[in-house]
């Protein structure tokens, strides 16, 4: 069974219908760790040591956040800068994260059509996420295509619930997956 670390980054959760619904659908499972970054580090003073330990203890790393300016909220970028250290996450001796899954859970205000070559945003979410993909690759991680919810501004409560159910299913499937990540194996 794969252990899941869910890194959640949302500066104004109280205003987000979709993310609150998603959070409610996270299965209560000992192998899933929910980690609310903005709640833990309101002053952006990230405890790198603790974050690294958390990463080592899990097999799948999920990043859940709203799409701000075609990327993640500032704290998540900050987290990447500080936690993914050279010599630990990447570089010649940086193998701590090898084999772990990296997957983004992204909500976009714009519709699916807007994120098409002929749409308003011109590029797809997958294209905007190239830097995540490459980061994962540099860290020898197994990058999975993102789980995206489009058009959140106009979603009906019923649709939001359906999306949340899909999310729940995704997490349950991930739990059963066999992940061969180097360091977690060592830990066992």
Binding site for other proteins (CB under 8 A): 43, 45, 48, 81-87, 91-92
Contact between 35 and 57 under an 8 Å Cβ cutoff? The reply is: no
Q: Which is nearer to other proteins, 25 or 78 (CB)?
A: 78
* Residue 54 beta carbon to other proteins: minimum distance, rounded to whole angstroms: 16
Return the beta strands (E) in 83-130 as ranges: 101-107
* Residue 153 beta carbon to other proteins: minimum distance, rounded to whole angstroms: 27
**Residue among 132, 149, 150 nearest 141 (CA):** 132
* Residue 42 beta carbon to other proteins: minimum distance, rounded to whole angstroms: 11
* Residue 36 beta carbon to other proteins: minimum distance, rounded to whole angstroms: 18
Q: Which is nearer to other proteins, 81 or 162 (CB)?
A: 81
Query: Which residues, in sequence order, are CB contacts of 150 under 8 Å at separation 6+?
Result: 108, 110, 111, 112, 114, 115
Q: Which is nearer to other proteins, 86 or 120 (CB)?
A: 86
For residues 98 and 29, give the distance between their C-alpha atoms in angstroms, rounded to a whole number: 24
Q: Which is nearer to other proteins, 37 or 164 (CB)?
A: 37
């Amino acid at each position: 069974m794969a252990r899941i670390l869910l890194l959640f980054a949302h500066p104004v959760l109280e205003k987000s219908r979709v993310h609150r619904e998603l959070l409610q659908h996270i299965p209560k499972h000992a192998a899933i760790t929910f980690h609310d970054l903005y709640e833990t580090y309101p002053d952006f003073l990230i405890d790198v040591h603790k974050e690294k330990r958390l990463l080592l203890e899990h097999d799948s790393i999920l990043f859940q956040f709203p799409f701000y300016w075609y990327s993640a909220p500032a704290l998540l970028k900050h987290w990447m800068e500080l936690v993914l250290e050279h010599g630990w996450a990447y570089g010649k001796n940086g193998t701590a994260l090898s084999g772990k899954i990296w997957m983004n859970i992204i909500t976009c205000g714009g519709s699916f059509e807007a994120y098409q070559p002929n749409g308003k945003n011109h590029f797809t979410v997958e294209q905007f996420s190239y830097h995540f993909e490459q980061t994962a690759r540099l860290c020898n991680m197994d990058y999975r295509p993102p789980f995206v919810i489009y058009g959140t501004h106009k979603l009906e409560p019923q649709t939001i619930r359906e999306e949340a159910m899909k999310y729940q299913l995704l997490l349950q499937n991930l739990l059963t997956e066999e992940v061969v990540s180097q360091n977690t194996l060592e830990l066992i």
